[in-house]
Amino acid sequence: MAWFSTTIKVPVSTLQENATKMQGFAETNADVFDRVYNSLLCLKGSGGWQGTSLEAIVSATEKNKEKFGDTIEELQALADYLQKFVTEISEKDEEIKKQINSVG
């Protein structure tokens, strides 16, 4: 069996860019996470806890929208951003895979 080794060169700037995006995402959305967490604590503490499924949480939050403010919209925006971020990372992964395949 032959063993071989390849080196894949990923620009440091690409790694730094991805790290910066992830840090920025965490800092930008920290307040959203706090609000969602606090909303869930309110649900649990008020006796309105309907289970642990996401559907139950969303349902309970929608029923108490005046109490929780714009949490649903913030969650949707967060989900949209996450999907975009995951898509970008997947595209980068595909580029790296192509580089690997072109070497081998």
Contact 25, 34 (CB under 8 A): no
CB contact burial 64-80 (16+ within 10 A = b; e otherwise): eeeebeebeebbeebee
pTM for the complete prediction? Answer: 0.31
- The pLDDT of residue 49 is 45
Domain ranges of the chain: 12-103
Rg value, the chain, Cα: 21
Mean pLDDT of 11-18: 73
- The pLDDT of residue 102 is 78
- The pLDDT of residue 17 is 77
- The pLDDT of residue 59 is 64
pLDDT, tens only, 33-71 = 666 666 666 655 555 444 445 555 566 666 666 665 566
